[in-house]
Amino acid sequence: MTDRLAAAQAALNAGRRDEAIDHLGAAVDEDPARNVQVYRTLALQLYTAGRFAEGEAAAARGLARHPRDYDLMNMRGVLLRKLRRQPEAVKVLEAAIKVNAKSAAAQHNLANVLLDLKEPVRAEALLTKLVRLEPRNADYLRQLGRALGQQGKIEPALGRLRQSVAMKRDNIDAWLDMTGLLNEEQRGPEAEALLDKAIAANPGNARLLEGKVLVMRRSGQARRAETFMEELLPASPDAGWLHYQLGSLLADRDRVRANTLLRRAVELEPNRLGYAGAMIENLERTRVGDEGGHIEEAYHLAKGLLPRRAEFDEGLTKIMAEVFGRVCDFEALEQIGDFRTLGRSWASSGRHTALMKQMAHVRTDADRAEVMEQHRIWGRMTEAAVARRPIKRPPPRPPGGKIRLGFMSSDLRQHPVGYFALPLFDHLDGQRFEVFVYSFYQGREDDAQRHIARRVTAYRWWPDISAAGAAEKIAEDQLDMLIELGGSTHMNKLEVMAYRPAPVQASWLGYPHSAGLEAIDYFVCDPYVAPAEPTFLLEKPLMLRHAWYPLSPVIFKDQPPLETIPPIARNGYVTFGTANQPHKYSRDVLRTWARIMAQCPQSRFLFIRPESSGASFQANLRSAFAAEGIEGERIQFEAVRGAHLPHYGRIDMSLDTFPQTGGTTTCESLWMGAPCVSLVGPAPYERLSYSVLTNVGLGDLCATTLDGYIKAAVGLAKDPARIADLRANMRTRLKDSPLGRTETWAADFYDVMEQAVRSSSPRLAQPA
């Protein structure tokens, strides 16, 4: 047994850490009554190797034998923090302090954990004590600065951080904490000047150079950040951070090159979870080439990271949840975390974009209330931050004049939001309104964008701007009302609304839920999308007369042509299908679809999705249907993006997802002659298809119970004559419905907006 320890020491002396760890682990397995130093060494080496879960287990095992060992307690507390188990770390470190109140290490580590937990007052008390004991300890000063910063005591925090770097010029963390604080306070030029000073004191330091990139990006200078990194790359071809940051920056504009850069970052630093996460995310979002193949690669990379789940931060859990949801691996999805914990962690860390996918997991009214609270957590945090940094505003406009109406969305282009909003610009009421559009789109200008820009007063396109900068510029236009159409979906800046750049603000179309901000006054809806319970909406409903949106004839054209003979007539059996996104699927949805198929002999189900070329997507879906007795060959796949409309000719009806229903897909399915059966719930995201179907006279295909949903689908499947009639006449129905009468719809929209403005604005209380 002594040989094990000797071998471990020899391996350590030779720099063979993994071999030393093996020997030390074997030594304590052979004799658990080993000297405490063996456990300390094992835990320390595992920590140094980044094997935090194993290190924590070794420290816990050692403490079971040596329960009052201060060093093991302190080490276990540090390891628990690395594993993001902060509440446990607090208890362990507090116990260590009781064992040895004079030692500073556990107190310092406890302060770090308290800062993680956003308990800066307790952390400040500990750190103030430590600074009194060692007033020239740069690390204590730095952490005290962080504690003050978390409390909003910005100048005292900066003062402590300056003291820290004055004493220790290479205290990189303190330099970065200072620039981070300045960045948060929208003091970008100061942050960058400080980083230049830090880089001069620490030439070539990679973390400081990366910090400069982040400051430029945060202040909306993406192109400048790109140039800066491109200039660094030839001299630093093996800098993992450089490939990672450049790949992340280019992702929205050049997925292919971003994949190459991120792949290289992972090769250079394979243990960096953030790098692996960025690569997974970019692959999952790569739309060129074999999209299903990219998703498949991302999925297998994500599965490989699952053993390190304890080390995931909120950003990585979001990425992993999106990938597992994309291929319907519900078991892996559940390993990431539960509905409440994940949602609140994403909200608390500012990741509003993750909350939309929470809607698909709602089951009860308590869940609906929880999703609302998750949005409010984000909203309260965002509005508190904005309150500390108000924007400059111009003097009020004089009374009279036209109403100035703004639309803010990066999707007013060739995008579903742009397609549905287009009639507002085609039938713009220039007698009453001046219309401004605000976009942060990162891609190239397209025909739809140019079409809209020609019709409005101003189209402000700001691809490189901060949220605060955008809010200030919007305020300069002195709008009467601002409507956001994107929520927090990709490339939009929902937080602009928190600054309230317009006196009246509303949300419409792009996000089927309350955003979470008190600064948004209205949620534009129709009588069908409006929630059944007022508690499921934070804003006031601003009611349109009939439909939530219209169908622009520029997009909903008579091309592609209809397949006039329904599949049931050609095949002798009914074919169901969906083009809805997989994040809206769940075990309940797939089980229900299978139950419908079971009542329709020989029926088929077609998934019209780009994921369909991926083996895992196909296998997971076939497995779900097989569990309900539906043979695999009855489940069919069409891998397509963009050119999917003709494939509706292969299905007799769409089965809607629930609780988060379709919107665009429902309209497309109807337009191509395939009716849709939908389950209606009380929240807006459960009522989008209900609005469309009711407006075209197909309210009987909307059910309020699961049994009713199944009955409606099976009933339609057994009525081939009605299927044929609907296919032949559906486009006429749509054109004659409120959705198709686009000029009338637009006039109603402008009437409602005028009423909202005049009832809220003293300047426009009476018509001019």
Helix (H) or strand (E) holding 637: strand 635-638
- Looking at 1.10.760, 2.60.40, 2.30.29, 1.25.40, the CATH number of the domain 249-333 comes to 1.25.40
Residue 1's pLDDT band, with cuts at 50, 70 and 90, is very low
Residue 218's pLDDT band, with cuts at 50, 70 and 90, is confident
Question: Where does CATH 3.40.50.2000 sit in the chain?
Answer: 567-740
Q: What are 539-595's pLDDT values in tens digits?
A: 999 999 999 999 998 888 888 888 899 999 999 999 999 999 999 999 999 999 999
Q: Say if residue 432's pLDDT is above 80.
A: yes
Residue 186's pLDDT band, with cuts at 50, 70 and 90, is confident
Whole-model pTM above 0.95? no
Supply the DSSP string of 83-124, one letter for each residue: TT-HHHHHHHHHHHHHH-TT-SHHHHHHHHHHHHTT-HHHHH
What pLDDT is stored for residue 464 in this prediction? 84
Residue 67's pLDDT band, with cuts at 50, 70 and 90, is very high
Q: What are 239-293's pLDDT values in tens digits?
A: 999 999 999 999 988 999 999 999 999 999 998 999 999 999 999 999 999 999 9
User: What integer is the mean pLDDT of 136-165?
Assistant: 96
Q: Say if residue 418's pLDDT is above 70.
A: yes
Half-sphere exposure (Cβ direction) of 349: Cα atoms closer than 13 Å: 18
First-residue to last-residue Cα distance in the chain? 94
Q: What share of the chain is helix, strand, coil (3-state, %, to 5)?
A: 60, 5, 35
Q: Say if residue 505's pLDDT is above 60.
A: yes
Q: What is the mean pLDDT of the chain?
A: 95
User: What integer is the mean pLDDT of 758-765?
Assistant: 75
Q: Say if residue 763's pLDDT is above 80.
A: no
Domain 567-740: CATH class, spelled out: alpha beta
Contact at 8 Å (CB) between 574 and 600? yes
Q: What are 359-386's pLDDT values in tens digits?
A: 999 999 999 999 999 999 999 999 998 9
Q: Say if residue 118's pLDDT is above 50.
A: yes
Q: Which residues of 329-343 are buried (b: 16+ CB within 10 A; e: fewer)?
A: bbebbeebbebeebb
Contact at 8 Å (CB) between 535 and 369? yes
CATH superfamily, domain 2-248, is Tetratricopeptide repeat domain (1.25.40.10)
Q: What are 319-332's pLDDT values in tens digits?
A: 999 999 999 999 99
Question: What is the 3 state secondary structure string of 420-434?
Answer: HHHHHHHCCCCCCEE
Question: Where does CATH 1.25.40.10 sit in the chain?
Answer: 2-248
- Which residue stretches of 496-628 are H helix? 567-571, 587-598, 615-626
Question: Where does CATH 3.40.50.11380 sit in the chain?
Answer: 403-550+744-764
Q: How far apart are CA 732 and CA 551, in angstroms?
A: 13
The CATH architecture annotation of domain 403-550+744-764 reads: 3-Layer(aba) Sandwich (3.40)
The sign one gets for the Cα dihedral 341, 344, 350, 351 is positive
What pLDDT is stored for residue 761 in this prediction? 74
Q: Which residues of 504-531 are buried (b: 16+ CB within 10 A; e: fewer)?
A: bbbbbbbbbbbbbbebbbbbbbbebbbb
Q: Say if residue 766's pLDDT is above 60.
A: no
Q: Say if residue 762's pLDDT is above 90.
A: no
Cα torsion 182, 186, 189, 194 to 10°: value is 10
